[in-house]
Structure 1
């Protein structure tokens, strides 16, 4: 396993991290289809990840209504100090009007509940799970800063925020001398490269770590989703289109998978491993979070840490998957040479 620095923290995290969304939820209407791993399976999954060198594990208070945190806490009971433990807050955790969002009231209550479920006295990386348009950054960052000063949280981060929102939050932290986001967790894959337009350059410019979720696009990039459309379920996606998360342009996506298969064949590895290895070759990426139902899936994805794609591999995959530049990126690129005296 290889390790990368988490933003400017000086903390080393494994470039492959374990996502615990598949833990729990056997009878849950949403999470039941994502894995529904029980205690024994979750224990084995965590042990296998740690034994392979993974030291970053991510969950959220909303996953399986908190059961994911409970199972993860149990699995880490003897190895808590071996991991950088990350969880998230924002999504509804109850029926009340204040059981969601970024308010100090909810964040403090949710943090204490997560600590109880995880069976720990601190969370290493506490992340805002999504944007709350009702709560200003000044409010939530002050609450998170208090949590750090109380020793309940080591670092703070965010997930699913736009680049301008992260930048605004960093500005508020700087102006008010509050703890700043050290990472942003974002969807990024060969069939979902939107992050490259603004999030990736922002992360590089601000020294913020980029943590990737759904690197296989909900199972689409396993290579098991066929053009002809069988009805086999694959992770968060089935091939008849009833599950489409994250959304994928299927025609374009199948073209990407065709090239992925060719690159994977050159190295004698799986399509999934190749898709993860491509992400690890991208600038700004700190760690790629993988979730699994079976140990074999986890082991295969972890193997991406040792897979080095050639320049030709990367060029082939870039060509079939790249997005057209969006405004103002394209006009800035068009005039960039004007600042190069020898360009």
Structure 2
């Protein structure tokens, strides 16, 4: 288990591990996270394996996550070695509309709070956490660029935004000389593949590295949930986890315990058996092969979970097994995406076989770690 290779993040020169340590589980404020001793163990396990990419947010566990990341980093004297990413957008002050959102006032307020909690004077990668449907992209990119010029952040990221918004933000950066977007963080897994409709092309052509969150579908792809065998209660599942605490009407994004997803899990289990690997490792390995993916955010509440995840890239998944997983998890192709399929495109190109994608020079590069020379 060694993270002995790195990825260039988008078209930047920043080198990050292919797996990022997700720290939303650092803290027990939300009722399902890890206590401080366990979180310390997870942090140590990750960095001792060679990992350098830590993911947090001001929202996570009411600020505890950032505080512990800063504390653990300082205790190991690793600030210069680590790439620390955090995010802003969410409001922790009900009744104060300007304590949330993407706008400049909240960006600067949130940035100062994150710097204080992390115990650092700069943040390596600063994300807009979620689009607020109001703030213009030029305001965000100018404010981000000002923070870069002030030395408070090094690189700019976007998370959970529409593709058109990310495209506009990157174009504004190009035209106006702002710091460009280096990373885009999105939900992406075998059961959530909608990123492939727009974002894979967007990322590779405009120079953003995709950073995938919830790569195991909130635990569903690890096999921890199973459909009930109780014929009287078809909606029930067996297993334990936070998804079961949400009842029969989970909020958007948490509705993972569906018949479709369990059919994907069944095929994943069969493929994992053929590969002689745990289901979680196969799911992560499959995802890392996808176009534009620079790094995968892996979280855990137990050391054994993280150890298993960190071994997910230590093997090659056979092409025929990848094809089986692709077919089992193929997402719907609503308008206009069905028009871009090969059959429909053939009508445009006169039934002549042409390349589906032009040569892509903006794609990220995966580079090996420097090897000792013995000198």
TM norm structure 2:
0.85
Secondary structure of 2:64's counterpart equals helix
Partner of 1:106: 106
Distance 1:208 1:235 in 2: 32
TM norm structure 1:
0.93
Is the contact between residue 6 and residue 208 of structure 1 (CA under 8 Å) also seen in structure 2? Answer: yes
Name which structure has the greater RCO, CA cutoff 8 Å, separation 6+: 2
Alpha-carbon distance, 1:240 to partner: 6.5
Distance 1:79 1:65 in 2: 24
Distance 1:191 1:300 in 2: 20
Secondary structure of 1:22's counterpart equals coil
Partner of 2:128: 128
Q: Which runs of 4+ in 1 moved over 4 A?
A: 235-245
RMSD: 1.8
Partner of 2:345: 336
Distance 1:13 1:127 in 2: 16
Aligned counterpart for 2:263 among listed residues 255, 263, 268? 255
Equivalences for 1:38-53 in 2 at 5 Å? 38-53=35-50
Partner of 1:32: 31
Alpha-carbon distance, 1:225 to partner: 0.8
Secondary structure of 2:185's counterpart equals strand
Alpha-carbon distance, 1:157 to partner: 0.5
- CA distances 1:276-335 after superposition (whole Å, capped 9, x unpaired): 111011111111101100011001011112132111110110111102322222223344
Is the contact between residue 25 and residue 301 of structure 2 (CA under 8 Å) also seen in structure 1? Answer: yes
Q: Does 1:246 align with 2:254?
A: yes
Alpha-carbon distance, 1:207 to partner: 1.5
Alpha-carbon distance, 1:72 to partner: 0.8
Q: Please state which structure has a larger fraction of its residues in helix.
A: 1
Is the contact between residue 16 and residue 287 of structure 1 (CA under 8 Å) also seen in structure 2? Answer: yes
Secondary structure of 2:92's counterpart equals coil
Distance 2:20 2:45 in 1: 12
- CA distances 1:111-143 after superposition (whole Å, capped 9, x unpaired): 011001001111000000000222111212111
Distance 2:237 2:336 in 1: 40
Q: Give unpaired runs (5+ residues) of structure 1.
A: none
Instruction: Name the count of aligned residue pairs.
Output: 337
Q: Does 1:203 align with 2:203?
A: yes
Alpha-carbon distance, 1:48 to partner: 0.4
Alpha-carbon distance, 1:175 to partner: 2.5
Q: Give unpaired runs (5+ residues) of structure 2.
A: 229-235, 354-375
Is the contact between residue 137 and residue 165 of structure 2 (CA under 8 Å) also seen in structure 1? Answer: no
Q: Does 1:61 align with 2:58?
A: yes
Secondary structure of 2:97's counterpart equals coil
Distance 2:297 2:284 in 1: 9
